[in-house]
Amino acid sequence: MKYDVVVIGGRIGGSISSLFASRNDVDVLMIEKRQEIGTPVQCAEGTTFSTFETLEMKPSNKYICTEIMGAQVHAPDGSTFKVEEGMTDGNILNNKTISEGYVLDRRVFDKYLAIESAKAGTDVMVKTTVKDLIRKEGKVCGVVAKHLGETIEIKADVVIAADGIESNLAYKSGLNSLKNPDDICSCAQYELVGLDIDPHLLEFYFGRLIAPGGYSWIFPKGDGIANVGVGVRNSTETAYYYLKKFVSKFDATPVELNIGGVPLSGPMDKTYNDGFLVVGDAAGQVDPITGGGIHITASCARIAGEVAAEAIKKENVSSMFLRRYDEKWRDEFEDNLKISFKLRKSFDKLSDNDMNALAEFFGNNNLEKISKLSTLKFLSKHPNLLKLLKELL
Amino acid sequence: MKYLIESCGCCGACVAVCSNKLLELTENEIIIREGCNNCGRCEKVCPLGAMISEDA
């Protein structure tokens, strides 16, 4: 078997890479290890409007559960502040990536993208696990896959690894993909039914007793249903333990349990090799503060598919050429991801009291126009937060 | 490490942190190749507690 491009993974990174490669008239195969695309869900399912601009798709009610118009942050002491739609992109707190967008049904959305890719000409193999890369003189030139016990060799000029947090392919290609456990957010989530909540508001809860090293969330899906989850880092108890604790306060029924690890390390230093590209969670293309990655992965995957197709047409799949992918996606996201990583490091050091103080400060101020006087007053009481506030504002 | 398959949710978080790259996520289980030094990195990230240090 031989293809121009083989894409490993059939979720958003894989489907979008293969879609944009196929649209550029190259032969593409996408391989998914599970027998169904889109399950199990490993995501809180929130994304930005920009995802659909990247995809040049009109968002559809088939996979959009609800539109988000704001976010509410709960401090450890229970005090809250709101970030609402219409605020400008002036600082990280009124960043549109958390206060505007959609909550998706990933099960339907992922499948829809795979179908779009198949319509554009991508061949798809499901229930097929990639065991190894085929390499010749150091260059990646295909994969060894297994389907129902049968081993299959598939040659390819470019292999795109969109195989998620559990990726071993980047490592096998010679890239450093090892993650530090402190940088992995360990997550557990219920889809709860019977909640009395605002269907257009995301809610985030912080605190050592609620979610050490992370946060808890409520992402509404409409009709009293929501993804209610917890992400923790460096915790002695599991994410599941904190999830049970968090949901005990709701009189609601779980109809689904989702779990997953989210890489908050920032992206890999290098995301290409000879005949090889890596996208999505496998490449660490996730915002280190929010843990959100759909909009980033959508864009990176599109670039990967387009660059792979261009490389095929130019008959140059060397790392020198494929480096364009790395440069293009970094142009778009690297600065923000670096700032976000730095902020995450600062947040890691905050005590519950620091978070309470910050929430009070933001709750008492108009986020679009925080005055110098109120900032100075705040800092005279909390001088330890100077550095963080500077980074935030 | 001791792997409790009945507690595993097949999310693959453990695979990302295994310092010797001994873990692989198939469709519905984690495969552990020989050579595990019981470092406990996978235990730290498992959302359901399916990975337990042998000496624990």
Number of domain units in chain A: 3
A136 assigned to some structural domain: yes
Distance CA A33, CA A143 (A): 13
Single out the residue in A242, A263, A284 at which a domain terminates.
A263
- Please name the member of B12, B27, B47 whose beta carbon is closest to the beta carbon of A188: B47
A58 assigned to some structural domain: no
Using a CB-CB cut-off of 8 Å, the residues of chain B touching A261 are 11-14, 16, 45, 47
Mean pLDDT, rounded, for A15-19: 98
Mean pLDDT, rounded, for A194-220: 97
The SS3 of residue A277 is strand
pLDDT in tens, A56-69: 999 999 999 999 99
For the cut 90, the answer to whether the pLDDT of residue B9 exceeds it is: yes
User: Six-digit token pair at A126?
Assistant: 């499901």
User: Six-digit token pair at A205?
Assistant: 């809860």
Mean pLDDT, rounded, for A275-284: 98
Average pLDDT of chain A?
94
Single out the residue in A240, A263, A286 at which a domain terminates.
A263
Shared domain for A155 and A97, answered yes or no, is no
A37 assigned to some structural domain: yes
Give the nearest chain B residue to A129 (CA atoms): B26
- Using only C-alpha atoms, what is the Rg of chain A? 22
The pLDDT confidence band at residue B54, using thresholds 50, 70 and 90, is confident
Shared domain for A83 and A147, answered yes or no, is no
Mutate to test the interface with A, among B1, B4, B7, B11 (most CBs of A within 10 A): B11
Non-local CB neighbours of A311 within 8 Å, separated by 6+ positions: A157, A158, A317, A321, A322
pLDDT, residue A88, reads: 45
Letter string b/e over residues B25-42, b meaning 16 or more CB atoms within 10 A of that residue's CB: beeeebebeeebeeebbb
This prediction has a pTM of 0.95
Single out the residue in A263, A298, A316 at which a domain terminates.
A263
The pLDDT confidence band at residue A200, using thresholds 50, 70 and 90, is very high
Residues 33-52 of B with CB under 8 A from A: 41, 44-49
pLDDT, residue A369, reads: 76
Distance CA A111, CA A15 (A): 9
Q: How far A119 CA sits from the closest chain B CA (Å)?
A: 25
Instruction: Say how many CB pairs under 8 Å bridge A and B.
Output: 83
Of the candidate CATH numbers 3.40.630.10, 3.30.70.20, 3.40.309.10, 2.40.100.10, the domain formed by B2-52 belongs to 3.30.70.20
Percent of chain A with pLDDT over 70: 96
Residue A369 domain boundaries = 349-392
Does residue B4 belong to the interface with chain A, where contact is any CB pair within 8 Å?
no
The pLDDT confidence band at residue B13, using thresholds 50, 70 and 90, is very high
Measured CA to CA in angstroms, residue A85 lies from A31, A73, A89, A317, A392 at distances of 39, 14, 11, 44, 19
| C-beta atoms of A181 and B45 within 8 A | yes
A55 assigned to some structural domain: no
Shared domain for A25 and A75, answered yes or no, is no
Shared domain for A211 and A327, answered yes or no, is no
ipTM of the predicted structure?
A: 0.97
Shared domain for A129 and A33, answered yes or no, is yes
CATH code (residue A278): 3.50.50.60
pLDDT in tens, A328-355: 999 999 999 999 999 999 999 999 999 9
The SS3 of residue A217 is strand
Q: How far A234 CA sits from the closest chain B CA (Å)?
A: 7
